[in-house]
A and B are shown apart, each in its own frame.
Chain A
């Protein structure tokens, strides 16, 4: 009996071994979150190196994909709930919460997650959701800006972006100087850095779909950020992910929200034009 079950186990391993190689392509599946259809494949915008932009969801294991498809099983939703509490919490000298001005986020924040970063005419640079939250806190609430990657910052960002779940990403590059920041971001994307001499494009464009370091390389889309990652057991912000990738090339990491990384956020967000906002996505 034992011999037979061992033989079955070997056979099963052999089959799954084959499947392992076959699954190096993104899966041919459709993402539904609680039954709501997400756009996980979209025609690329003009000037894009790919014909089709693909959500990172298509590159993940079946269990990881399933965790994102059910908002109850998605551990990132715990942070979204925390964000909802922060939304209604009064902070700062003005005695206000986010809700004091913006009321119900389900209405007022709908679509916001799909069109940021946008142009900030006051600061004369693009602004992403994290920076917009800080701007509101300092200017309107009389509260302090969040420390980069504070749990509250990630939770509130995820809550705000989650209000746009399913909406396609679309940046307005005609605003202010967005186009020149896009150009700058493109330069950053294609510049090789670090001892390993890698650019973003080395992995996410030239090697998209391949296995490297036991990982299935995606297009590096950011439509699901902040993303819940099982390897850290928590939310990971876009800027943190950029810094992590740059660190892995063994380069010096630019500061979060620096010109370089903000330009990169504009450019990389554009590369995912047409994909649904998946925040909080679930990744390995």
Chain B
């Protein structure tokens, strides 16, 4: 599997108090641990098990992921913004790796 690559979509600007839509997508096989390879051996589970989003250090949204979630998990959620700042998105892999991305938003 190629290194998972996160993508996020955050509006560049918003007005104070506006509810904005945040979209995230990460490339990941989400190997469930239920499949077997050609030799009949179980392919070990390797999924993204946690996703979180913070704004200026404050939690916005987070969730645990389980093996039934499909490959390349996509999240769409909303947040109310009152000040300019940075959204930080973090994905945690079963193998211990974390993948993250940041996006700034300018609130007028």
Residues of A within 8 A of B (CB): 72-73, 75, 78, 81-82, 151, 230, 233-234
Contact = CB atoms under 8 A, between A and B. Distances in A.
A233 B23 contact: no
A78 B27 contact: yes
Contacts of A75: 25, 27, 71-72, 74
A25 to B, nearest CB: 28
Contacts of B7: 72, 78
Contacts of B9: 72
Interface residues of B, number: 14
Contacts of B2: 82, 151
Q: Which applies to chain B's interface (DSSP): helix, strand, loop or mixed?
A: loop
Contact of B70 (A72, A73, A230): A230
Interface string B25-37: 1010110000000
B5 interface: yes
B70 A78 contact: no
Contact of A78 (B23, B72, B76): B72
Contacts, number: 28
Contacts of A78: 5, 7, 25, 27, 72
B5 A73 contact: no
A234 B2 CA distance: 13
A211 to B, nearest CB: 23
Interface string B74-91: 101000000000000000
B51 to A, nearest CB: 16
Among all A-B residue pairs, the 4 with the closest Cβ atoms: A233-B71, A75-B72, A78-B27, A72-B9
8 contacts: A72-B7, A75-B27, A75-B74, A78-B5, A230-B70, A233-B30, A233-B72, A234-B71
Interface centre among B23, B25, B76 (most CB of A within 10 A): B25
Contacts of A81: 5
B27 A233 contact: no
Interface centre among A81, A151, A233 (most CB of B within 10 A): A233
Contacts of B70: 230, 233
B76 A73 contact: yes
A151 B27 CA distance: 13
A177 B83 CA distance: 65
Contacts of B71: 75, 233-234
A72 B27 contact: no
Contacts of B27: 75, 78
Interface string B46-84: 000000000000000000000000111010100000000
Contacts of A82: 2
Contacts of B29: 233
Question: Which of B25, B30, B72, B74 counts the most chain A CB atoms within 10 A?
Answer: B72
B99 to A, nearest CB: 13
Nearest to A78: B27
A72 B103 CA distance: 15
Which of A72, A81, A82 gathers the greatest number of chain B CB atoms within 10 Å? Answer: A72
A72 B9 CA distance: 8
A73 B23 contact: yes
Contacts of A233: 29-30, 70-72
A81 B2 CA distance: 12
A72 B72 contact: no
